[in-house]
Structure formats: structure tokens, C-alpha cells
Chains A and B, each alone.
Chain A
């Protein structure tokens, strides 16, 4: 797994590439908490994430819970069908705004 961080306007973009399972969940969680501690909305680019395990999902739940406490919007962009299904059956889609691409997510973010 690789995570790269960048900024588009006032939003922070996290690009996650690779598989997210228990071996990397801790690192992702740290990164996610770090990003969530800052202001501005968060767009997570999942175009390169081809698998997420239940331990990986925990990082996303932590991100969502922390963001909600601060009224931040979390957008997930470009997730594959498989990953989308994992989120769906885990009941987590509701926690996030889902977009096809990062561009669409950024355009839709509240100003």
C-alpha cells in the first residue's frame, strides 16, 4: 500500500494505491488521523486500491468518525466495483460521499 497526500484548493487529497489489510492498517490509520486533524474537506482517491480487508475498513470508519465530529466532508472517489461492494455490504457507504473521480468529488465539495 502507498498513500500520497496532496491539496486541491482547500481540500486534502489522499491517494491510496495497493491492498489495504491488517499489515498496513496501522499506518493508514495514523495517516488518516493526521489528515483528519486538519481543517478542510477530504477526498480519498481509491482508484488504485484493489482490495480492502476488514482491518482496512476500520481506518475508513475512524476517518469518517473523526471527520464527522468536525463537520468535515469525506468523499471517496474512483473506487472499483469490488471495493464498492465491500463498502456496501459493510454498511459503510452512508458514511461517505461517493464520486466516480477525484475531479467530480472536488467540484461537488461544499465551498
Chain B
């Protein structure tokens, strides 16, 4: 029970439940009563035939629209209006006070029921208070709020007239049909008109223009019809659709109401397409026409409204999408900025590392009077795993190092710094070269968490005698350039690189560098440089260049080799660090 009454209450909720004061209630009812009565008087104009039967009953539209908007509280005005609209009965000779009151009370109750059923149908099935937004609502409005509601009212009204003797048995059927269809048409045409203009009461320029054009053209078509006596009612159809497309519900309801009024008036004067052989036939033809234009017009605006809703929804989705895209873009830009910041920090760090690395490589060899020295290190990346070193061990001896750490980049550079410092430290303690290398090898083997290793040459040059004591730990074979202009590789002696095997005893070699003779130490960045076709520079090319440059200074030899490699590998990316160290035992001046 509660469910049904709650559902009924929901179904009967009007568009406006406020204001609720008694005074407002009174005013609303008086206003609706006035409108109802005026609309009722208009019927007199529409009456067809001697019985003055109207094919349309506008008051039912006003009652239904008012109920949609204000709810059951205006039903007293509907009842009173319908009661008062029964005044034509006064002309009837059978009228008595009793049957007059009974009949009009009956039709009044019918009108109340009609309005309530109309409201309930739309509220319940369409959950709306007007039929302008969805095509489904148009069907509900026309079938439920208009035809079904009017059917009930027509039945009650006809019964009241028949029971009180105002309608003879023979006319019950036609009275019911006329009553029913006139009410339905009144709701469909004038109810829709009132709702449309109540929903959007303030006409904009566009609507005013539409209204003026609609009224003018309707009158013009009517005039044409009256003047020419041709049935040109189909001219109304494009006007109806134009009004709907241009101004929506207001345009289309105004057009269908104007067309209805004109067509009904023309028919009452025997003009137009709807003049039938009998009055009833005329009335039915008019009803059919009104049904068609109302349905067409309302459906047009509903479909247009749905299309607009879809467009609005699409536009909204697009806006949301655009906002999301722009949000995401901003997010990415921010991430890029952070990434760039990080990259800049890394670049700065690498630059600092490069500077630091370059600063531990000696570059000024001018203090070595008896030995000509040239050296160069060119990293493949920002930082290098190659290094060279030249340092005096004591008054007579020079320490010479060229080394290559496995791998490249920061890890190699760090390992290079460790190796260089360790080797120099051990060498300065005065140990023999092989012992130094044994020591460094074991240290690197033990303190080497990432399995790195170093190939290295450590040589000790006795400046006075020219004796070189050299340990080659898995490194490229040095080149000795003799005074006779020959250049030869100094074979390796089977020592592994540093940091590969523990407790290894490294083998050292000795040879004497004559005056003017040179020792060329390098890394495999030179011999393994490749050209555009993948060909290796190879030690053979290095030997050729050194032979050609035998008579030159260490610096010139170095430039010749580096230049040779650069020419050879032009157009390729430098794959490995390139390092060389050139030593020449100078001629003994004054000795």
C-alpha cells in the first residue's frame, strides 16, 4: 500500500510545488479558471454545424498543462471552469436546476480525472513534465496524457449528459467520440502550446521572428485558401517543420495551434480540405489532420532536442578529453624538465670527472732534460678508462705507464684512477718493476667488486744508461724504434692483465734504448680503430707510420700516429679511448 501510494504521489508530482501559500493558491486557481473560461468561450467560434460541435476543446489543454505545472492544487479551478462551461445547457428546454448541476458536476469530475491521468501518464512513463526532449515522451504524451486521459473524460462526460437526458440514446456513440477526440486534440495542441511557452516564457529575438512569420504565413495560406477555394492545407506542413527546426517546442506548438485554429475556422465556413459530406465527417477529418501535425511537429522538435543533447554531450566529452590531453601533456613536459635537470646534473658531474681525470695525467714534460716525452689521451666517451703516467722515481730513473681498464665510462674511469694511484705509490717505494706489478695485481684482484681488469705496461727507464726494464701485463706490444730507422714490436712475455689472476709472478724484460732511439707505448684504441667498412687499423699500419717518423721528435711521431688513425677512421664514431706515450732517449749533450 505504502509503495503504491508513494509511487502515485511521485507520479502526481508537478513541475512546480512552490509557492504554497493560500493566497498564491487562490491566485493560481483564479488565473487558471479565467483561462479555462476564456478558452471555453472560444469553442463557440469553433462550433461546426447547427449543433455547434467543436472538433477541438482548448480548455482541456489548459487544464492538463496547468496540472503538469502546478499539480492537484489547481484542480478546483478545473472543476469550476468545466462546471461553468456547461452554460450552453441553459438553452436546452429540459434543463432543470437538478440535472444542470448533476451534469456539470459529472463533466467537472471527468475533467479533473482527465488532468490527473494526463499528469500521471507523463510523470510515470516519461518521468518528465513536458514531452519536448525525447521522441519516446512524445508518444507517451499523445497516447497516454492525451488520448487515454481524454477517453476517460469523454466517457464520464457523455454518461453525465446521457443520464440527465441531454443526449438521446441514438447520439451517445457520436457524442462520446466527439467529446473524446475534441478533448484529446485540445490537450495535444493547446496543452503542448501552454507547456512549451511556460517552459521558456521569455521569447528571444529568434522566437519572436519565428512567431511573427508563422502567424503571418498561416494567415496568408488561409487567405489563399479562402480566396482560391483550393484545398492548399498541405502548405502548412513545411511551415510547421521550419518553425520546429528554428525555434523548437515554442515554434512548433505555436504553428500547430495557429494552423489548427485557422483550419477549424475555415472548415466551419465550408472552406478547405476537411469539409466532409456531414458535419461529423468534417470533425473527424479535422481530428485526423490535427493528430498528424501535432505528432509530426512534436516528434520533430524532440528528435532535434535529442540530437542537440547528443551534440552537447559529445562537445562535453571532447572538452574533457582535451583537458585530459593537456593535463597529460603538462605532466610529460614536467617530467621532461625533471629529466633534463637530471641529465644536466649528470653532464656536469661527467664534465667535472673529465677535468679531474685530465688533471691527473701529466702534460708538461719540459723538466726531463735527458728524455724527450710526448703523450696524449683521447677518450671515446666523456671519461676514459685509458691512462698514461710519467714520474721520476729517483734522480736516475723514470717511471712510465700506459694502461687500459676493461670497459668504458664512469666505472672504468674510477678504476683507472685507483690503478694509477696504486701503481705510482708502489713504484715510488723503489721496488723492481715486476715486483711492483705483482703487488698491484694482487691488490686489484682483491679489491675488485665488479670483476674489472687492466692491461698495463709499466717500464722503468734508467736515464743515464738507457736501460729499460719493462713489464707487459696483457697489454699491446710496445714498439722500439732503433737508430737505424727500423721499428719492431717487443713481444709479450706471457703475463696476464692485472686483476685477473691472484699470486701471479710477472715476468719483466730489459733492453737498452740507444741515444735518439724511441719507445712507443699505446693502447688498442689505435690498433683496433676501424674504418667505415669495418677494416682494422692494425698494428701493421702503426709500424709503417712509426718507421716513416723515426727521425722525428716524439711530439711529431705522436701527431703522425693520431693523425693516421683519424684519417683512417674518418666518418666513424670513435669506439675506444686512444692513448699513446712516446719516449726518446736524447743525445747526451756535452758528455
Contacts and interface: CB of A to CB of B under 8 A. Distances in A.
A91 interface: yes
Contacts of B133: none
B349 interface: no
B495 interface: yes
Interface in B473-532: 473-476, 491-497, 500-501, 504, 524, 527-530
A58 B496 contact: no
Interface residues of B, number: 27
Nearest to B492: A89
A21 B538 CA distance: 10
B575 A22 contact: yes
Contacts of A66: 451
A53 B453 CA distance: 17
Nearest to A19: B536
A22 B496 contact: no
Interface of chain A, main secondary structure: helix
A23 B495 contact: no
B491 A53 contact: no
A103 B491 CA distance: 33
Contacts of B524: 22, 53-55
Contact of B496 (A55, A69, A92): A92
Contacts of B527: 53-54
B494 to A, nearest CB: 5
Interface in A2-48: 21-23
Nearest to B453: A61
Contact of B528 (A22, A64, A89): A22
Contact of B500 (A21, A23, A69, A95): A95
Given A62-B451, A89-B494, A95-B496, 8 more contacts: A21-B536, A61-B500, A89-B491, A90-B494, A91-B494, A92-B496, A94-B501, A95-B500
Interface of B: 406, 451, 453, 455, 473-476, 491-497, 500-501, 504, 524, 527-530, 534, 536, 575-576
22 contacts: A21-B530, A22-B524, A22-B528, A22-B530, A23-B536, A53-B527, A53-B528, A54-B455, A54-B524, A55-B576, A58-B406, A65-B451, A88-B494, A89-B494, A90-B492, A90-B494, A91-B494, A91-B496, A92-B474, A92-B496, A94-B496, A95-B500
Which 9 pairs show the lowest CB-CB distances between chains A and B? A91-B496, A22-B528, A89-B492, A54-B524, A91-B495, A65-B451, A91-B494, A55-B528, A23-B534
